[in-house]
Amino acid sequence: MNVYLDNAATTRIDPRVLKAMMPYLSEKYGNASSIHALGQDNNLILEQTRAAIAGLLKAETSGLLFTSGASEANNYILRGIMSANKAKGKHLVVSAIEHPSVLQTARELSRAGYELDIAPVDADGRVDLKALKKIVREDTALVSVMAVNNEIGTIQDLEAIAQIAHAKGAYFHSDIVQAIPYLRLDLKKMGIDACSLSAHKFYGPKGIGASYVRPGIKINNLISGGEQENGRRAGTYNLAGIVGMGTALELAYKERSVYLKDVKLLRDYLWKSLKKEIPEIKLNGGLKYRSANNLNIRFGRIEGEAILMDLSLRGIYVSTGSACSAHNLKSSSVLSAIGLADYDLNCNIRFTLGRFNNKKEIDYTVKNLKKTVARLRAFSPVK
C-alpha cells in the first residue's frame, strides 16, 4: 500500500482539473498574446479565468497577475512594494515563521539597505499582536504574515494583523498558499492588500500561481522584457496552468466541506491513534488554531530523518523539517520560533492529509509507524 501524507508539499492533481487543462496542451495551443483568432480565443479564456479567480477571492480582477508559483509571487510583492514605496519608508516586518521565499527575501532586502524586523510568535505559532503593535512604525511600508503555516498549520488572525499594519499606513501582504482550500478568504473584508497563491497546493498543476496586489498600490516589476500582464510581468502565459488553477480553485471553494469535515475527521483519528499506540510523542503547536489537515509530531529520542526514510521504505510518504525544500537538512526555524529546545529540533515529522486519503491508509500508517519507532528507539543512544 502507498500512503501519501505530504499534501502540504504538493497535492495530486484532481482528474477534473487535468481534463479542463488538456485542450490547452493540445489543439488550443495558441499564444494568448497573439493577435490572430487562435491567440485571441485563448486570451478570452485567460481573462475569464482571471476574473473568476479574483471573484472567488473577493479581490479586484485587475490586481491579479499570474506567476510561476508562490515563490515568485512572494519575491515580486516584497521586492516590488518595498522598492516602489521608499517615500513611505524603508521598514519591512515579516513573521518569524514565514516560508523561506518570504523570510530569505526579507533578509536579502535588509542586506540591500532596507530595515527589517521579525515579529515573534507564541508557542502555537501565532503572531504576538502586542509585540507586532510595537514593531510597526510610521515608516513601515509592508507587513507580511502568512495565513496558514506550512510546517505546523497555524492559522493567523489576519484581520487583527491587517488592522495593526493599516493603523500606521503600511500595506498588509499574506502568503495564503496553505490556506486554500481550508479557509474561505475575503481579501477585501479582511484587509489583505496583497497575497500569493500556488495551484499545486490545492489539487491543481505545479508551476503556476498568482500574486494579488490591490490596484492603486505602487509596485515595481520583478521580471521585465515583455508586454504580458499589461507590462507588469514578462513571459508567455501558461494558459493550461492558469485554466487548471482556476478550475482547482473553483472546486476548492465548492467542495470546501470535504476538506473541513472529512480531512479533519481523518486527521483527528490519526492523532488519537498515534497517542494511543506510540509512547513519548508530542504535538508541535496547538490544535485550536491549526489547519484541518496538519499534524506535526515530536518523537522523543529518535531522528525525524530516520523515521521518514523507514516509512518511505514501507510506502508511507511524510516529511520533516522545512518540508517544501527537504533537501536542506538544516533544522526548522519554525519549530525554533515556537520555542522547541535545540535537542528537539530534529525529532519531528509532519503529516499533512488530503482529500484522497482514507481510514485504511491511516490504520496502515499507525501500524507501521509503531514498528518503525520501536525499532529506531531500540538503537537510540539516548535512553
Ligand X SMILES: Cc1ncc(COP(=O)(O)O)c(C=O)c1O
- List residues with catalytic annotation: 324
Three-class secondary structure of residue 304 per DSSP: helix
The one among 150, 319, 346, 352 contacting ligand X by CB under 6 A: 150
Instruction: Annotate 337-373 with DSSP letters as a single string.
Output: HTT--GGGTTSEEEEE--TT--HHHHHHHHHHHHHHH
Q: Which residues contact 201 (CB under 8 A, 6 or more apart)?
A: 7, 8, 10, 11, 177, 178, 180
CB closer to ligand X out of 70 and 92: 70
Residue 8 C-beta: closest distance to ligand X, Å: 6
Q: Counting contacts by CB under 6 A, is residue 125 touching ligand X?
A: no
Residue 44 C-beta: closest distance to ligand X, Å: 26
Residue 248 C-beta: closest distance to ligand X, Å: 13
CB closer to ligand X out of 144 and 346: 144
CB closer to ligand X out of 71 and 293: 71
Q: What is the largest CA-CA distance in the chain?
A: 72
Q: Counting contacts by CB under 6 A, is residue 296 touching ligand X?
A: no
| Distance of alpha carbon 33 from alpha carbon 29, whole angstroms | 12
For the segment 36-75, give every residue that binds ligand X (CB under 6 A).
Answer: 69-71
Q: Tell me if 196 sits within 8 A of 210, measured CB to CB.
A: yes
Indicate the residue whose CB is closest to ligand X: 69
The torsion angles phi and psi of 86, rounded to 5 degrees, stand at -60, -25
CB closer to ligand X out of 140 and 150: 150
Q: What angle do CA 315, 320, 325 make, to 5 degrees?
A: 100
Q: Counting contacts by CB under 6 A, is residue 178 touching ligand X?
A: yes
| Distance of alpha carbon 265 from alpha carbon 268, whole angstroms | 5
**Window 12-41: contact mask with ligand X (x via CB under 6 A):** ------------------------------
Q: How many CB atoms within 10 Å of residue 338?
A: 24
CB closer to ligand X out of 199 and 306: 199
| Total of residues contacting ligand X (CB under 6 A) | 13
Q: Counting contacts by CB under 6 A, is residue 324 touching ligand X?
A: yes
Q: Which residues contact 216 (CB under 8 A, 6 or more apart)?
A: none
Q: Counting contacts by CB under 6 A, is residue 251 touching ligand X?
A: no
For the segment 81-100, give every residue that binds ligand X (CB under 6 A).
Answer: 99
The one among 198, 273, 284, 372 contacting ligand X by CB under 6 A: 198
Grid coordinates standing for 184? 474561505
Instruction: Annotate 86-124 with DSSP letters as a single string.
Output: TTT-SEEEEETT--HHHHHHHHHHHHTT-EEEEE-B-TT
| Distance of alpha carbon 319 from alpha carbon 342, whole angstroms | 19
| Distance of alpha carbon 261 from alpha carbon 293, whole angstroms | 10
Residue 146 C-beta: closest distance to ligand X, Å: 5
CB closer to ligand X out of 228 and 322: 322
Q: Counting contacts by CB under 6 A, is residue 284 touching ligand X?
A: no
> Cα separations (Å) of 239 from 30, 36, 39, 50, 208?
9, 16, 11, 11, 9
Q: Counting contacts by CB under 6 A, is residue 146 touching ligand X?
A: yes
Residue 66 C-beta: closest distance to ligand X, Å: 12
Q: Counting contacts by CB under 6 A, is residue 209 touching ligand X?
A: yes
CB-facing half-sphere around the CA of 275: CA atoms within 13 A:
10
Residue 149 C-beta: closest distance to ligand X, Å: 7
Q: Counting contacts by CB under 6 A, is residue 175 touching ligand X?
A: yes
CB closer to ligand X out of 141 and 145: 145
Q: Which residues bind ligand X (CB under 6 A)?
A: 69-71, 99, 101, 146, 150, 175, 177-178, 198, 209, 324
